[in-house]
Chains A and B, each alone.
Chain A
Amino acid sequence: MGFGMLAATSLFQRDLLGASLSSPLAPQIPHFPPTAKSVIFLYMDGGVSQVDSFDPKPQLTKENGQAPKFKVDATVFNNNGNLLKSPWEFKNYGESGIPISDLFPHIGSCADDLCVIRSMTALSPNHPNANYALHCGHVLAGRPSMGSWFSYGLGTMNQNLPSYVVVNGGLMPPGGMQTFGNGFLPANHQASLVAPKHPVMNNIQPRESLTELQRKKLDYLNSIDRSLFQNFHHADEVETAIQNYELAYRMQMEVPEVTDISKETAATKRLYGMDSPFEQTRQYGSQCLIARRLVEQGVRFVELTVSGISGADRWDQHGNLKAGHEMNAFAVDQPIAGLIKDLKSRGLLDSTLLVFSGEFGRTPFAQGQNGRDHNPQGFSMWMAGGGIKGGTIYGATDEYGYRAVENKMDVHDLHANMMHLMGIDHKQLTYRFSGRDVRLTDVHGHIIPEILA
């Protein structure tokens, strides 16, 4: 009778590793063999217009300027105009021939790695609610973010780094820090906010003027705590609190070092578009480069927010669609393609899941003259790497790109499939809170075999 028989009882197995590492982020054993080990979530805050990016609509071009023939639901600003065709052309890329608009030529060059989902839906037309739903699976503030769920479910490999890192490019998404909050999960699963500038993380920078001062003080602190601790030996949480200081000290070293991209080669920086004339492209490039370095060091969940562009409030173009979307796209297009190619060449793409999505799409009919209002009923996003089937298109919207009609997907399905790729059964990962076993996917979520390799 080999190891298998007894090991089957997960109780014994959990005991195998969990106990030995007292750190709250010890790695946990996935429910089934994962294909992905880390997630990089490229959050296109504000909502990318689907008919201008990954969902070409010839019918829309034909009926440009006419009043919509379909039933128009109430929008946020209720200033609904006529149908507005996409100002950009679409080209087919790669062997799979996925049509992508001229906004994203660089991402187009990686088309064979992408799985474009065109039938995504959001739970609300408002920024903060849709934002909370995409991140926390519920339209209300206060629920744990998906990053926290992955950290809670899988812990992290590198014990000297946080498990959930947000590389903040500029403005926090609407709804503030609760987007990345740990909600009712233990505080160690909270997002650590990192910015591609100095100091890189809150409280990570020792304030002592001389470096060896802090080490000396910590040595003294440790000695006095240890000596007095004998009197109260039973309180093991005091023991953990003492250990946390060593962990904190190491994080002070590791976090700045892993986010220091100055050591990268010039070629890599060019790949990520850090020689671009556009300042926001350079900054988003540095964010993508930091994301690759974090994932290389075993951080479980990394999220990137978009960099603030003056004259274009993130992707939220209620007006001036052409200039706004162009600047936003130009800022992220090359860096993201660079990230995919870099991960691929380093052998990390197969174990890293990339997700590119906004919190909802935009209306095919105009808002005012040249804007588009929010459209939660149908939009596009894509995923790559980490066991996703590249070069595929899943689901479809109606001929105007307004409502998803085929293989509709919602945020719960997205979370369920992300967790599936990371080896988690989304129905079993629960946390007992306020009288029930709460799940990230609540009571929803379906696994979609067509998009899994």
Chain B
Amino acid sequence: MKRVYFLLSTVLLVSLALLLAWVVVLTEGQFAAEESVEWAQFLGRFHPVILHLPIGLFVGLFVVELAALLNRNDGLRRSAHILVWLMALTSVLSAYLGLLLASNGDYSGDTLWLHKWLGILFSAGALVLAFFKVRIVCREGVGNGLYRFLLVGLLVVMTVVGHYGGNLTHGSGYLTAYAPDWLAAKLDKPNEAVETVVSEDGAIESNVYTRQIQPLLEQYCVQCHGIEKQKSKYRLDTYEYLMTPGKMGDTPITPSMVSESKLIEYLWLPESDDMAMPPEGKPRMSAEQIMLITHWVANGAEGPPVDEAAVAAERAALEAERTELNQLIKNGIMVLPVSRGSELFYVDFQNVKGTVADEDFALLANYKDRIQELKLAGAAVTNAQLELLRGASELQTLNLSGYSSADDAVDVIASFSALKNLIFYGSDLGDAGLSKLSTLNLDSLYLGATNITPKQFSAYQNSNGAVRVFGDVDLNAVSAIEVIDLENTADFNPNKK
């Protein structure tokens, strides 16, 4: 009978272990990514209820085992047997629920990580403990020492798990918040302790904002106040935007003026108030987290570390760049960013009268990899000057209408890897030049009013199907369009040629 019992219990324990492993895999993988299915959240919320059972039972087990050890009473050992089972079952169950709860994204950060894995370790250990217990019962005391050792180990693990669990729900400073000064000094207020975390590029991140404020805002606010969505025009995703006014003209925070910081005001509002943030139905910050932000603002809301040197350097670089570009503009070469916030330029020689000075073109060539569109259109630019742009990586549109000695220029043009639209209208491009163009995968090519023979033109067209090629307008087709016989009024009859 003992053997049957032993087999049955090992099977049960193994299946429970497998189930545990499966739930872990589940919550780690796709399940965690998808925000949270409602039922998981519903069940997850029972985790704090169930987890007290294994703790109680384990302590009970420990006491019973201790008592059994001291006064060698088998009856106690048998009751311990039941306790082990109960403890194992409830610990695995609380592990499932814990994993479900964690999946809803409410909690994050490393305290959760620690609590989760230690919790799993503990429940796995509980199963092993149960297994040992069963074996002891079935095999008359074999592995008793191991069992006791495991028991003590699990006790330690449980206390640690309990500690982190508490931190997660009530915040790390909960226990020591009101510790008397002597004790506080000794413990030096864990939440005050500003751990220095070294950021990837070596700059010392000793800053509260980046370590604590930013993640909080990221977690609770940026979903509706970020790049895509700006509810009532507030953006909270970068430090600068915390200072930029929203729709009604007031700014989320004003350094060291908590009363002037709308963000703080809305955070403290009770959930029922319809101006409260985060609004109803969204996970809310804990009082302690709000206090953290309030505290930070009160102390001047110090922003992310600013690397003075880097900013100064960049400003100087930009200053130099600006003077150079203004120099070009004064001489008629228009250099304009393609759009606000873009590094690429649109360059237009529209206002250039007569020849282009070499040093101007050389100056322009410094930025050749940031020219997206270049319009020479009749300006007297030489091939030698064009050569300076060899390899311009971003150039997409090039307007060389009316360009002379176009054939020689084709060689440097072929080096523009990103070129999409090429306009040779009215230039002296010949068949030779055209043939060298096939290396480029162009989108559109304009060859009207050039020296290209019709044969070569159609040859190019057939071999480059994808390219939209435009030649001269077919005037015969135009005159072939016949107008219907319009009503003849006194001074007008179109069909009378």
Contact = CB atoms under 8 A, between A and B. Distances in A.
Query: Quick check: do A and B touch in the complex, using CB within 8 A?
Result: yes
Interface in A83-112: 88, 102, 105-106, 109
B484 interface: yes
Given A105-B483, A345-B448, A20 B330 contact: yes
Contacts of B473: 267, 271, 341-342, 345
Contacts of A278: 492, 494
A39 to B, nearest CB: 17
A322 interface: yes
Contacts of A423: 339
A350 B445 CA distance: 12
Nearest to B307: A1
Contact of B470 (A88, A311, A347): A347
A169 interface: no
B475 A277 contact: no
Nearest to B448: A345
Given A16-B325, A327-B492, A345-B425, A270 B343 contact: no
A293 interface: no
A403 B340 CA distance: 40
B489 A2 contact: no
Interface stretch (B58-66, B252-260, B315-323, B458-466): B315-323
Contacts of B446: 345-347
B477 interface: yes
B338 A33 contact: yes
A298 B314 contact: no
A10 interface: yes
Given A20-B326, A271-B475, A1 B314 contact: yes
Given A330-B483, A347-B446, A32 B339 contact: yes
A29 B337 contact: yes
Interface stretch (A114-122, A155-163, A173-181): A155-163
A21 B330 CA distance: 8
A337 interface: yes
Contact of A33 (B342, B421, B449): B342
A34 interface: yes
A413 interface: no
Interface in A316-343: 322-323, 326-327, 330, 333-334, 337-338, 341-342
Nearest to B483: A105
A3 B492 contact: no
A232 interface: no
A175 B269 CA distance: 56
Interface string B71-87: 00000000000000000
A111 B467 CA distance: 21
A70 interface: no
B471 A13 contact: no
Contacts of B423: 346-347
Nearest to B400: A347
Contact of B496 (A105, A277, A342): A277
A271 B478 contact: yes
A52 B350 CA distance: 42
Contacts of A4: 341, 343
Contact of A105 (B317, B318, B337, B481): B481
Interface string B233-258: 00000000000000000000000000
B350 A17 contact: no
Contacts of A106: 478, 481
B339 A33 contact: yes
Contacts of A296: 377
Interface in A23-50: 27, 29-34
Contact of A34 (B339, B426, B492): B339
Interface string A179-200: 0000000000000000000000
Interface in B308-351: 310-311, 314-315, 317-318, 321-322, 325-326, 329-330, 334-343, 348, 350-351
Contact of B350 (A158, A267, A345): A158
A288 B59 CA distance: 95
A344 interface: yes
Contacts of B377: 296
Which residue, of B314, B350, B493, has the highest number of chain A Cβ atoms within 10 A? Answer: B350
B35 interface: no
Interface residues of B, number: 58
B475 A27 contact: no
A297 to B, nearest CB: 7
Nearest to A28: B336
A30 B340 CA distance: 6
B336 A7 contact: no
A224 interface: no
Contacts of A102: 484
Given A8-B341, A20-B329, A277-B496, A347 B489 contact: no
B478 A347 contact: no
B38 interface: no
A6 interface: yes
A5 interface: yes
Nearest to B310: A1
A5 B478 contact: no
A228 B384 CA distance: 46
Given A7-B337, A27-B336, A158 B343 contact: no
Contact of B444 (A15, A330, A347): A347
Given A1-B310, A270-B475, A330 B494 contact: yes
Contacts of A326: 486-487
A15 B325 CA distance: 12
Contacts of A124: none
Interface in A285-313: 296-298, 310-311
B428 to A, nearest CB: 16
Nearest to A15: B322
Contacts of A297: 350
A330 B483 CA distance: 8
Contacts of B481: 105-106, 109, 334
B67 to A, nearest CB: 68
A338 B478 contact: yes
A303 B8 CA distance: 91
B16 to A, nearest CB: 54
Contact of B477 (A33, A109, A157, A346): A109
Nearest to A31: B340
Given A17-B325, A345-B446, A347-B446, A88 B484 contact: yes
Contact of B351 (A109, A158, A311, A333): A158
A404 B302 CA distance: 57
B329 A344 contact: no
Contact of B475 (A5, A29, A30, A267): A267
B314 A157 contact: no
A12 interface: yes
Nearest to B491: A310
A7 B449 CA distance: 41
A160 B482 CA distance: 42
Nearest to B471: A345
Interface string B101-140: 0000000000000000000000000000000000000000
A276 interface: yes
A29 B340 contact: yes
B444 A350 contact: yes
A121 to B, nearest CB: 30
A289 to B, nearest CB: 13
Q: Which 10 A-B pairs have the closest CB atoms?
A: A347-B423, A20-B326, A347-B446, A345-B448, A326-B486, A33-B339, A10-B340, A102-B484, A341-B473, A323-B487
Given A13-B341, A33-B342, A338-B478, 11 more contacts: A7-B342, A16-B325, A33-B339, A34-B339, A160-B351, A271-B475, A298-B348, A330-B494, A333-B483, A341-B478, A347-B444
10 contacts: A3-B317, A3-B343, A6-B311, A7-B342, A8-B341, A17-B336, A31-B340, A267-B473, A345-B473, A350-B444
Interface of A: 1-8, 10, 12-13, 15-17, 20-21, 27, 29-34, 88, 102, 105-106, 109, 157-160, 267, 270-271, 276-278, 296-298, 310-311, 322-323, 326-327, 330, 333-334, 337-338, 341-342, 344-347, 350, 423
